[in-house]
Amino acid sequence: MALRLDYVAGVSPSKWLRAWGERRADLPLEAERVDEHLQLERLRTGEADLAFVRLPVETEGLHVIPLWEELAVVALPKEHPFADEAELAVADLDGESPAPVQLDPAMTLELVAAGTGYAIVPHSIARLHQRRDVVAVPLSDAPPTRIALVWRIERDDDDIQEFVGVVRGRTARSSRADETPELSPAKAAKKAAAERRAAEAARAGGRPTGKTAGKGSAKGVSGRSGSGRGASGRTASQRGRRKGR
């Protein structure tokens, strides 16, 4: 008997496989990569117990835990005029032709290399199928994709929940109650957007917030006031000595 895990291209489950092996040597975990257009087929038929999928998928009858987001990039031929850009916007691609999308992302990128057009793909896919004749440029305003862990509602048992705990960082001694409550898709998207904005601000060397700026200003004013008081004190002392004379 084994726990069967499917995952789509761009997902690397090795760390969870190692963690599971250390925790549950009694129950092997078998992992298999599947094509994205087939990501739910084996799960629905019972050939797989869990799957890392790329959203959106049909979620009826499934438990879904949204995990991380993937940055969108545009794949371009190395000789393309935009190939040296650090970042592009979707509008920059107006007038450009997209390459024919294939079921196999590697084939789509091969068509990009052949000069048939551009392709917008998750960064993980571009990295997995990187080629010397294709460049991947981040898209600043393209919606990201998201990876999720899914399993059938009727297949929800202790073994499944233990693997879910491994993915969510739950230790062997902790319980489900110790985890952060699962967010709704809307709240998860809102949280992810906030995290992206914070990360972008950090990369751009963003200015201090109002509170931080206020504290800095207050310290500056305080320092100057201290110097002012010291000067005033010395002036008063000098005046006192003059009166004594």
Per-residue pLDDT of the chain (245 residues; tens, 9 = 90+): 899 999 999 999 999 999 999 999 999 999 999 999 899 999 999 999 999 999 999 999 999 999 999 999 999 999 999 999 999 999 999 999 999 999 999 999 999 999 999 999 999 999 999 999 999 999 999 999 999 999 999 999 999 999 999 999 866 554 443 444 444 445 555 665 666 666 666 666 654 444 444 443 333 333 333 333 443 344 444 434 434 44
Give the sheet arrangement for strand 72-77, strand by strand: 119-122, 72-77, 134-138
* 59 plus 149 within the same structural domain: yes
What is the rounded CA–CA span in Å between residue 108 and residue 32? 22
Structure confidence at residue 114 (pLDDT): 96
Its domain, for residue 85, covers 72-138
CATH code of 100's domain: 3.40.190.10
Closest among 57, 52, 88, 84 to 71, alpha carbons compared: 88
Considering the domain boundaries, does residue 210 fall inside one?
A: no
Considering the domain boundaries, does residue 132 fall inside one?
A: yes
* 52 plus 80 within the same structural domain: no
What's at 60, amino acid-wise? E
Contact call for residues 93 and 39 (beta carbons, < 8 A): no
* 14 plus 62 within the same structural domain: yes
The pairing of strands 3-8 and 145-152 is: unpaired
What is the rounded CA–CA span in Å between residue 208 and residue 198? 12
* 47 plus 17 within the same structural domain: yes
- Model-wide pTM > 0.85: no
* 130 plus 12 within the same structural domain: no
Closest among 149, 147, 128 to 3, alpha carbons compared: 149
Q: What does the DSSP assignment read for 119-186? A: EEEEHHHHHHT--TTEEEEEBSSSPPEEEEEEEEGGG--HHHHHHHHHHTT--TT--GGGSPPPPPHH
Considering the domain boundaries, does residue 212 fall inside one?
A: no
